Structure 1
Amino acid sequence: MRIATPPPPTSAPLRVALYSHDSVGLGHQRRNLAIAHALRTHLPALTGREVTGLLLTGVERVVGHLPADFDVVRLPGIAKDAHGYAPREMSVPMTDLIDVRRAILSGALGALAPDLVVVDRHAFGVDDELLEPLRRLRREQPGTRVVLGLREVLDEPEVAVREWRRVGCERVRELFDAIWVYGDERVTDLRATGAVPAELHDLVVHTGYLSADRATSSFLRELQRPYLLTTVGGGHDGADLCRAAVQAPVPEGLGHVVVVGPQATPSRREELQALAGPRTEVLDEVPEGLLAIRSAEAVACMGGYNTVCEVMSTDRPAVVVPREEPRREQLIRARSLEATGAVDVIRAAELTPERLGRWFADNLHRSVDRSHLRRDGLAAVAGHAADLLAATPQEICHAV
């Protein structure tokens, strides 16, 4: 029988764990990394305690810089294939890989004994790898607060409903104290759309977009200025946008920087380099994507959550070319933001180099006011975390 460890003195740092399953792209880790910076920045003033923690991630490296007093636990990588999920690097059965990931998660959470756990998007990870580690944490550290963080758009509502059935609302209520939705409910409300079941509505808090006050370093590689920017996030997709971008006409006096992403294949980079004009530069990545967006004259991008939030933290004009398969999440996000005047949209089927070039030419020297949107989600997340941590056990009741 394990004897419960007495709680640390109130002067001890708050311990935070942020988990993301990380099968495709970099968005899950990037979102948790932004939250880690926000908690490290804002929680000490709200709680009187410093913050330390772990990023639990399946990405081979951190994209960006860790906040002070944070470290990384890297899970063996997974990827999607025609049958679902598969090991990204290792030649072992998927069940064995999940056993390894589950053991790492259980060990890390058990040893860290976090005050707060934030789980990105998938409540119990891949193949329920996080389910037993969370149950063990509930038994051994009942004071830990556990939060499920969701993008403001999951997918079409009927797809989300099927996913919730697989996850199980009862299990979510058993193990989670809150559901943070990282968006403005006036633009997209997951309760109103049916993308979150009614049984869980009382747990839902819309935080606002994780947009304003994103942490950056002070370094940006010197780029040809002034410049246009096209960026496609991690680079596991976005080939059509990059192909149109490198061939798009560039207005006189400007350069065009096309960032294909660190996960783009070498063959794609070679193809794009061969197609690029003399004033178009093709890069794998830039050290600070947000700074690159802030310094650009205009931006073309896909509709991933993090890139769109970075764009919305600026007044740079932006056109979004959303991915539409296999999920329509990016299209729904792009259309909803277009309706508010925050971005323009070009559908993938309508994208050509000429049309993209015309959009760039028409939007030079323009700024976009996005102040009508709730973009302070990072500061709001810290406030919600402080409230959860201050709540008594009686104020947070778990279903059994």
Structure 2
Amino acid sequence: METTIALYSHDSVGLGHARRNRALAYALAEHLPDRLGGSVRGLLIAGHPDAGRDPLPDGWDWLILPGLTRGPGGTVPRRLGGDAEDLRALRAATARAALTALRPDLLIVDRHPFGIDGEFLPALRDLRAQGCAIVLGLREVLDAPEPAALEWERLGGAEHVADHLDAVWVYGDAQVYDPRLTGELPGALAHLATTTGYLGHGRPPAPRGERRPAGDGGPRAPYLLTVLGGGSDGAELARVAAAAEPPAGHHHLLVTGPQMAEEDIAEVRSIARPGTSVVRSAADVPELIAEASAVVSMAGYNTLAELLVTSTPALVVPRTRRRQEQPRRARALAALGAVTTQGIDTLTPAVVTDWWRQAVATRCDRTGIDLGGLAVVPRLAAELLGHGASTGRATTGHAASGRRAAGRRTASRQEVRAVAV
């Protein structure tokens, strides 16, 4: 028996959504065949060209949609030019045609269930009618409660969104942060939700031969690391970190991220202290984090998931524009002693210098945080598809009812395929 999985992310800003889905693809490819008793293949639909540069497991592939990104008056084409509405129609038709041909058994949508301005809704309705199991995957923090509630209302309300889903998987530890309790996840969606643990342990390694930053032979130990995710909104932190003074005997590696503007990278290099190397990208960021004496970073989900599996001390400087997601995540983790956090408005090179001097002599114990989401997701997927029993983690009442419904979906799907044949 072959199981087909599709994962979708719109990727208007950054690569966080696509990289989260890529980590899930590796976990599902590794663990789901044993649970289902057959092979597993998959397609990742993404909206940023850089996503397709990352390798996938055997039997999996990327479909990169023409890019949309944020502009002054809303979404605009990233590269193709022309009218944004026409490009959304092209993206919608492309995704729908691919999924019609692929006929997945399971679809996982990252963060935005209907895509940009509803572009993914036609495909979602098709798959729902065909009996495909549909999951909305969410990072543990969405936003402050009021804007989060308004966002669900703009989609037609939580009940309308829930009508298109079989489950919601929250990629976090409820003991750290639970969006079902903060108001970010309204009742109709909270009823569908199960927390998985952070997607920390088991993230895919860098490809062989890509173990060091591009354009550099690798940091000299002991070293400090500054990482800025994709880099599109990390220039301010990069300037502060580049101007800080590394402790004696320590090298400082600053990874700007592939999406930082060239002029910003040039400025960061011009003010970098002796002993600081500035590179655009590094394929092996998790390894670099684990081996660093200390890390300065923003508070994006993927960066912190990679950080939390290590004992490396971290100064986390959250982005405050657009959403309150990063400040809320940073505060929740700081309250547990897992990170140190400070706002960019009060951060100076002197503050970073002083923090480095203290941090390099310490390590951080994060063993109390649930970081096993990549092992849990394959089990939840198998249950949703009607295979296996729940083990090791309590599930919500709806998750149990979802397993009972899985048999009906499977039978319906077999009928649909029989007619098609």
TM-score by length of 1: 0.93
| 3-state SS of paired residue (2:191) | helix
- CA deviations on 1:218-262 (whole Å, 9 max, x unpaired) are 542132222100010001011111001111011111100000110
Which residue in 1 is equivalent to 2:28?
39
- CA deviations on 1:133-179 (whole Å, 9 max, x unpaired) are 1111222x21x111000110000001100011112323322221000
Which residue in 2 is equivalent to 1:20?
9
Q: CA deviation at 1:395?
A: 6.6
Q: CA deviation at 1:84?
A: 1.7
- CA deviations on 1:70-118 (whole Å, 9 max, x unpaired) are 1010101011012121111122111100100000110111111011100
Q: Tell me how far apart the structure 2 counterparts of residues 211 and 65 of structure 1 sit (CA, whole Å).
A: 19
Preserved CA contact (<8 Å) 1:232 1:238: yes
| 3-state SS of paired residue (1:269) | helix
- Do structure 1's residue 164 and structure 2's residue 160 form an aligned pair? no
- Do structure 1's residue 235 and structure 2's residue 231 form an aligned pair? yes
Which residue in 2 is equivalent to 1:74?
64
- Do structure 1's residue 220 and structure 2's residue 232 form an aligned pair? no
Q: CA deviation at 1:393?
A: 3.4
Preserved CA contact (<8 Å) 2:67 2:78: yes
- CA deviations on 1:12-38 (whole Å, 9 max, x unpaired) are 2x1111100001111111111111111
Q: After the TM superposition, which residues 246-395 of structure 1 pair with which residues of structure 2 at under 5 Å, given as runs?
A: 246-390=242-386, 391-393=403-405
| 3-state SS of paired residue (2:50) | coil
Preserved CA contact (<8 Å) 2:384 2:406: no
Q: Tell me how far apart the structure 2 counterparts of residues 136 and 387 of structure 1 sit (CA, whole Å).
A: 22
Preserved CA contact (<8 Å) 2:200 2:371: yes
Preserved CA contact (<8 Å) 1:234 1:262: yes
Q: Tell me how far apart the structure 2 counterparts of residues 84 and 396 of structure 1 sit (CA, whole Å).
A: 41
Which residue in 2 is equivalent to 1:178?
167
Q: CA deviation at 1:365?
A: 3.1
Q: Tell me how far apart the structure 1 counterparts of residues 89 and 274 of structure 2 sit (CA, whole Å).
A: 51
Q: Tell me how far apart the structure 2 counterparts of residues 237 and 67 of structure 1 sit (CA, whole Å).
A: 30
- Do structure 1's residue 120 and structure 2's residue 110 form an aligned pair? yes
Q: Tell me how far apart the structure 2 counterparts of residues 291 and 115 of structure 1 sit (CA, whole Å).
A: 34
Q: Tell me how far apart the structure 1 counterparts of residues 164 and 110 of structure 2 sit (CA, whole Å).
A: 14
Preserved CA contact (<8 Å) 2:9 2:109: yes
Q: 1:193 to 1:395 in 2, by over 3 A?
A: farther
Q: CA deviation at 1:129?
A: 0.6
For 2:196, the aligned partner's letter is T
Structure 1, unmatched stretches of 5+, are 1-9
Q: CA deviation at 1:51?
A: 1.6
- Do structure 1's residue 152 and structure 2's residue 140 form an aligned pair? yes
Preserved CA contact (<8 Å) 1:177 1:396: no
Q: Tell me how far apart the structure 1 counterparts of residues 406 and 227 of structure 2 sit (CA, whole Å).
A: 47
Q: Tell me how far apart the structure 1 counterparts of residues 94 and 249 of structure 2 sit (CA, whole Å).
A: 53
Q: Tell me how far apart the structure 1 counterparts of residues 107 and 338 of structure 2 sit (CA, whole Å).
A: 32
- CA deviations on 1:289-327 (whole Å, 9 max, x unpaired) are 111111211100000000010000111111100001121
Q: CA deviation at 1:189?
A: 1.0
Which residue in 1 is equivalent to 2:128?
138
TM-score by length of 2: 0.89
Output the aligned Cα RMSD.
1.4
Preserved CA contact (<8 Å) 1:87 1:97: yes
For 1:150, the aligned partner's letter is L
Which residue in 2 is equivalent to 1:99?
89
Preserved CA contact (<8 Å) 1:323 1:330: yes
Q: CA deviation at 1:69?
A: 1.4
Preserved CA contact (<8 Å) 2:219 2:252: no
Preserved CA contact (<8 Å) 1:118 1:148: yes
Q: Tell me how far apart the structure 2 counterparts of residues 25 and 89 of structure 1 sit (CA, whole Å).
A: 15
Q: Tell me how far apart the structure 2 counterparts of residues 151 and 328 of structure 1 sit (CA, whole Å).
A: 13
Q: CA deviation at 1:65?
A: 2.5
For 2:141, the aligned partner's letter is V
Structure 2, unmatched stretches of 5+, are 213-217, 387-402, 410-421
For 1:261, the aligned partner's letter is G
For 1:215, the aligned partner's letter is P
Q: Tell me how far apart the structure 1 counterparts of residues 406 and 272 of structure 2 sit (CA, whole Å).
A: 62
Preserved CA contact (<8 Å) 2:159 2:189: no
For 2:247, the aligned partner's letter is P
For 1:220, the aligned partner's letter is R
Q: How many residues align?
A: 384
Q: Tell me how far apart the structure 1 counterparts of residues 238 and 408 of structure 2 sit (CA, whole Å).
A: 48
Q: CA deviation at 1:199?
A: 1.9
Once the two structures are aligned, what percentage of the paired residues are identical? 44
Q: CA deviation at 1:394?
A: 6.4
Q: Tell me how far apart the structure 1 counterparts of residues 408 and 119 of structure 2 sit (CA, whole Å).
A: 25
For 2:5, the aligned partner's letter is V
- CA deviations on 1:264-302 (whole Å, 9 max, x unpaired) are 111111111111122100000111111111121110000
Q: CA deviation at 1:396?
A: 7.3
Which residue in 2 is equivalent to 1:4?
none
| 3-state SS of paired residue (1:393) | helix
Q: Tell me how far apart the structure 2 counterparts of residues 396 and 335 of structure 1 sit (CA, whole Å).
A: 43
